[in-house]
Structure 1
Amino acid sequence: MNRSMIHAANTMSQLQQRLDLISHNVANVNTVGYKKREATFSEMLYQQFDNQFDERFENNRLTPMGIRQGVGAKIGATKLLLTQGAIQQTERPLDVAFSKAGMFFQVLVEQNGQQAVKYTRSGNFQLTPVGQNDVMLVSDNGYPILDANGNSIVFSREATDITITASGEIVAQSANGIPQTFELGLVQVNRPQLLVASGGNLFELPPNQNAEEIVNELIGVRRQEAGIQQGALEQSNVDLSKEMSEMMLTQRAYQFNSRSISMSDQMMGLVNSIRS
């Protein structure tokens, strides 16, 4: 196998991963609060052949000395973009949207018998019955939304006129006229590239990592920074036209590399057919 085939084969596997990433973004173009990911490429190891050892004969050379032969490109990193998505008004009391980037709700998720706190931007909340007289605030996937103390938010079943303020305070009027008040558990993400996607439009912290380095809880006066809008939802920040353009470019690059393998195979066939 010659170098052109190695170069193309290595690059094609990485282009396939980029296609998968773009396809995932396109599939979530209508997912509430979804944040897209972008892939950046970097050069793999290369080998240099020095065919000119005397620099005096290369006075006007603008490129590095010798000939460099690489072995393809790879995905250097995938970047999570927390840019603000468009705000769509719904007038539904349990729909809330962040008007600032980097803010997340806290969600309690139970998997394999263990409970873990995860984060989401999706604000299309629901109410689910708990016992006979209460209801609990949950995400669109049915996971409990946590308050500022890390507890589930439970209302009286007869609660009406639910109001959510810009700082994340929930006030529900009960039948006896006594309001029930809660504070949504809110965090600000400082290092989004360390968040781990766990499916269902949720993110979690990586294992063995100090949580304070990645997220900060919004408590006290910092809750005024949340910028929550009631009766609205934040749409995905995926630009469909851009994603389709990136998909076409990636597919074309994949085709070129595939063609390179075919041409290399033909060249090797010609060499092998030569008879002395």
Structure 2
Amino acid sequence: MHQQMTATAVTLGQIQQQLATVADNIANVGTTGYKSRDAKFIDLLVQQIDNMRPADIDGTDEANRLTPDGIRRGSGARIGDTSLDLASGSIKQTDNPLDLALTDDHQFFTVALTSGNGTATTAYTRAGDFNVQPDPADPNTLRLLTKSGMAVLGTNGQPITIPAHYQSIHIDRTGSINVELASGAQVNAGQLGLVTVSRPQLLESQGNSLYTLPNLAQLGIGLNQVVQQVPAADGSVAQGKLENSNVDLTKEMADLINLQHNYQLNARSISISDQMSGLVNSMLH
């Protein structure tokens, strides 16, 4: 009985984690470029408890028995995998020249993410709601940044900069940035560093629709096995548009209700087990 209570308590903790995943999806239903996650449960260790066969006691023949002797006692369940859904969200028109959407499911923008100790690492995002800010080192230059202030990287891995006081900006589907100055001169400001992530389940969320990769060397995986630069001909940039979150609110609400029912059922199971333990103790005393 106590083992059953332990198994149920373990499952309750995992249900809470799945509830947190669903709640996170619902909270980000309006977040640009957000990709939903789905948690899957798997069984923990299952113990086979064999009873003494009746044939060993009175010679009863059980050759035609259809069910195995004994019982299988589980140890609860845990979340085995939280998969990232890369399905495209709906595209909305904004007509802002710095708003960019990617129409290919597995393509990402690359940005520079600076950690607390000042180390910069490459992060990946589908959120193309970019803006420009003056470069502190050069007043005649603007830096292309994400909404959270991260530098957008080009194909060379360096932050993209744009001439200040530009008149118009055009970004084609390949990610090439062409700027028209007030004088009418045309300037190429580089090309967006677009990549394809072939193993998206390795991506780790950093918030603000940003993802990074774990230490691939420890996993025995090369970076080129996970991330490949997008050839210019395969670019899928759409200017003046943004990709909405791909969260299916109806599905998430249904999952939330089911999880609440599962949680209540498991909690009720612990309560009943506790009552039965109390009844047994009162009978023994």
Alpha carbons 2:174, 2:237 under 8 Å: kept:
yes
Confirm or deny: 8 A CA contact 2:216 2:223 kept in the other structure: no
Please give the per-residue CA displacement for 1:13-34, whole angstroms capped at 9, x wherever unaligned: 0000000111111111100000
User: Which runs of 5 or more residues in structure 2 are unaligned?
Assistant: none
Match of 2:196 among 160, 178, 188: 188
Are the counterparts in 1 of residues 109 and 194 from structure 2 also a CA contact under 8 Å? Answer: yes
Which residue pairs with 1:147 in the alignment? 154
Percent of residue pairs bearing the same amino acid type: 42
- Indicate the residue corresponding to 1:125 in structure 2: 130
Under a length normalisation based on structure 2, what TM-score does the superposition of the two structures give?
A: 0.91
> Match of 1:256, as an amino acid?
L
- Note the C-alpha offset of 1:66: 3.2
- Letter of the 1:76 partner, please give it: G
Matching of residues 1-276 of structure 1 within 5 Å: 2-51=2-51, 53=53, 57=62, 59=64, 61=66, 65-111=69-115, 112-130=117-135, 131-181=138-188, 182-209=190-217, 210-218=222-230, 222-275=231-284
Q: Mean Cα displacement is larger for which, 97-106 or 127-136? A: 127-136
Q: Distance in 1 between matches of 2:269 and 2:260?
A: 14
The amino acid that maps onto 2:75 is V
TM-score normalised per structure 1: 0.94
CA-CA distance at 1:174 after TM superposition: 1.4
> Shift of the alpha carbon at 1:226?
2.3
For residue 62 of structure 2, give the secondary structure of its aligned residue in structure 1. Answer: helix
- AA aligned opposite 1:244: M
Cα displacement (A) at 1:64? 5.1
The CA deviation at 1:108 is 0.8
Q: CA RMSD in A?
A: 1.7
Code of the aligned partner of 2:125: T
Segment of structure 1 superposing worse, 151-160 or 47-56: 47-56
Contact 2:176 2:191 survives alignment (8 Å): yes
Q: Closer, same or farther in 2 for the Cα pair 1:266/1:91, shift >3 Å?
A: same
Aligned length: 272
Deviations 1:88-127 (A, max 9, x none): 1111111110111010000012222111111100001101
Offset, 1:240: 0.7
